[in-house]
Amino acid sequence: MSEHILIGVAWPYANGPLHLGHIAGAYLPADIFARYHRLKGNKVLMVSGSDQHGTPITLRAEQENKPPQEIVSLYHQEFLDCWQKLGISWDLFTTTGTPNHTQVAHDIFLSLLDKGYIYKDSVPQAYCPKCQRFLPDRYIEGTCPYCRFAGARGDQCDECGRTLNPSDLIDLRCHICSTTPRFEVSEHFFLRLSAFEDRLKSWLREKADWRQNVLNFTLGILEGGLKDRAITRDIEWGVTVPQPGFERKRIYVWFEAVIGYLSASKEWATLHGDATAWQPFWKNEAKGFYFIGKDNITFHTLIWPAMLMGYGNLNLPYNVPANEFLTIEGKKLSTSRNWAVWLPDYLQRYAPDPLRYFLSINMPETGDSDFSWREFVRRNNDELVATYGNLANRVLTFAYRNFAEAVPTPGELDSQSQELLHKAQTALDSVDKLLYQCHFKESIRAAMSLAQEANRYLDDKAPWKTLKQDSQAAATAIYVALSMLSALKTILCPFLPFSSQKLHNFLGFNGKIEAAGWSIQSPLAGQKLPSPQPLFSKLDESIVDEEASHIGHEKSNEP
Ligand SMILES: [Zn+2]
Ligand SMILES: [Zn+2]
């Protein structure tokens, strides 16, 4: 029976280009998961969009002396271009700047207010006397009270991942002018998170199958007790507050950005001509998966679930398979120091599948993992090209040249051949289970070891030697090898969609590979084969030093 799978993916701030950390952390695993479920015949709704609000945007706009809208429009376009080139298969990638999003955010705000889960209070807010303004979130810097990191921001410590209030920080200063702010009273709305503690605890008790790092982090925060959080800010860029007297304030970006999962689902439904089509993805048996980096865990395992509990009638997250961080050349990624590999730069120079391969087989699933150009070139040349690409090329070229440009007709299969085909089916079944549980690294490793088995089989059978004396034996071996390629194109399709589509066509199948579903298609004996091309290209070792020299040397890309 087909399932409804909602896939929500972190909303990137439209204030700078995407980098490999974003991709390894959230976008690639989400896309693999979506493609897998679509192949299985499940109904998938994968949504996200540009986060247009919050102080990361206004800081950038002030830095560049441009209106915020100009900044967000520029990067939104760039995101769309990257998704298309990298093959991230959204059902909808929208923005938080739509009237629909404002309406859905207002609806949730007013419903929670009505039920007493949102209340008004007067609180001291940091105010910079020199800049003559209130300082929300990222306009404040200071030392984290938990881990003593000196560059913590008013909303969060990037070092230990804790969410913070500005008054928690030690040695406060204004991000713009470094003046010590004073606190002035301002009226704000608060989310009564404390009211959800018990319900969140019992909900999380059923989540023993979540990733241990996600669960432990969440339970640790919950253990310390949940404090109510201000959900409005003294800022004029963002979603308006639907209450009189709050015209010069806006809804806190984190409160409204997570609502984006729901508003994007509704927008998708409207765009597809049935305004209720989002409901099967949010109610009853539907399962919602949220793909995010570990710096966003709290918002998806505590705050968004609390908001949904308060609002009612919608499913809470089924799983939040947050990834750890990707380091670059052994060091922590830092956009401000330009210690990053930017996605637009990568996509300008290289094909998408080698990156998808590297970040899949080296995914920071349960611990941080590293990207280095040397390792990237090695994995491309020694694994993707040597193990998989060459197998495809050898088999397809041999069939094309020696069997009249067609799939040969096999004779009787010996036990070695039958065993190999059985292994392919076993691999498909085990990757099926692994992907369902979001074990991406293990899945692609299983696929690659199947490719190794196929190589060993081909070397044993050596059809290039048997062709002259026993062409039937050669035909059988090549037919079995073509069947292995057919299995590989399916198992690898969620990971390497571009090369899987090519291989699908090189094997003589027409149309889109997605239509073939999650099963091994047997090659059709006698089917004409097109002239094969290599699936991947070897990369020259010289790019290692060339590419590594770009890292850390250019100017900052984020305020
Ligand atoms: Zn200032
Ligand atoms: Zn900290």
**Nearest ligand for residue 181 CA:** 1
The amino acid at residue 472 is: Q
Nearest-angstrom CA–CA distance, 246 and 295: 30
Nearest to 287 by CA among 88, 34, 104, 514: 34
**200's tokens:** 């969140």
| Ligand 1 center from residue 255 Cα (angstroms) | 26
For 87-211, where are the alpha helices, taking DSSP H only? 99-114, 197-205
| Ligand 1 center from residue 133 Cα (angstroms) | 8
| Ligand 2 center from residue 308 Cα (angstroms) | 28
Burial per residue of 122-156, b for 16 or more beta-carbon CB atoms within 10 angstroms, e otherwise: eeebbbbeeeebbbbbbbbbbbbeeeeeeebbbbb
pTM metric for this prediction: 0.94
| Ligand 1 center from residue 235 Cα (angstroms) | 15
- The pLDDT score that the predictor gives to residue 116 is 98
Q: In what order do the strands lie in the sheet with 92-95?
A: 92-95, 43-50, 4-9, 287-291
Provide the phi-psi class of 511: left if phi over 0, else alpha when psi is between -120 and 50, else beta: left
C-beta separation of 193 from 225 below 8 A: no
Nearest to 11 by CA among 443, 304, 334, 250: 304
- The pLDDT score that the predictor gives to residue 389 is 98
- The pLDDT score that the predictor gives to residue 1 is 79
* Cβ neighbours for 311, distance < 8 A, ≥ 6 positions apart: 108, 111, 112
Taking the CA atoms of residue 431, residue 433, residue 438 and residue 443 in that order, the dihedral angle to the nearest 10 degrees is: -20
| Ligand 2 center from residue 281 Cα (angstroms) | 36
Nearest-angstrom CA–CA distance, 52 and 237: 9
| Ligand 2 center from residue 364 Cα (angstroms) | 21
| Ligand 1 center from residue 183 Cα (angstroms) | 13
| Ligand 2 center from residue 475 Cα (angstroms) | 64
| Ligand 1 center from residue 374 Cα (angstroms) | 44
Nearest to 23 by CA among 438, 340, 336, 424: 340
**Nearest ligand for residue 295 CA:** 2
| Ligand 1 center from residue 63 Cα (angstroms) | 14
| Ligand 2 center from residue 22 Cα (angstroms) | 21
**Nearest ligand for residue 139 CA:** 1
**Nearest ligand for residue 157 CA:** 2
- The pLDDT score that the predictor gives to residue 55 is 85
Nearest-angstrom CA–CA distance, 305 and 196: 9
| Ligand 1 center from residue 257 Cα (angstroms) | 27
Tokens 């209106």 belong to residue:
67
**C-alpha atoms less than 13 angstroms from C-alpha of 269 in its C-beta half-sphere:** 17
- The pLDDT score that the predictor gives to residue 554 is 57
pLDDT tens sequence for the chain (559 residues): 799 999 999 999 999 999 999 999 999 999 999 999 999 999 999 999 999 998 889 988 988 999 999 999 999 999 999 999 999 999 999 999 999 999 999 999 999 999 999 999 998 889 999 999 998 888 999 999 999 999 999 888 888 888 888 888 999 999 989 999 999 999 999 999 999 999 999 999 999 999 999 999 999 999 999 999 999 999 889 999 999 999 999 999 999 999 999 999 999 999 999 999 999 999 999 999 999 999 899 999 999 999 999 999 999 999 999 999 999 999 998 887 889 999 999 999 999 999 999 999 999 998 999 999 999 999 999 999 999 999 999 999 999 999 999 999 999 999 999 999 999 999 999 999 999 999 999 999 999 999 999 999 999 999 999 999 999 999 999 999 999 999 999 999 999 999 999 999 999 999 999 999 999 999 999 999 999 999 999 999 999 999 988 888 755 444 4
Nearest-angstrom CA–CA distance, 59 and 63: 6
| Ligand 1 center from residue 244 Cα (angstroms) | 28
**Nearest ligand for residue 128 CA:** 1
The amino acid at residue 546 is: E
**Nearest ligand for residue 160 CA:** 2
**Nearest ligand for residue 134 CA:** 1
Residues, the chain, total? 559
| Ligand 1 center from residue 294 Cα (angstroms) | 31
| Ligand 1 center from residue 479 Cα (angstroms) | 72
Residues with CB under 5 A from ligand 1 (ion): 128, 130-131, 174, 176-177, 179
By the 10 Å C-beta count (0-12 exposed, 13-18 middle, 19+ buried), 512 is classed as exposed
- The pLDDT score that the predictor gives to residue 162 is 85
| Ligand 2 center from residue 115 Cα (angstroms) | 34
The amino acid at residue 517 is: G
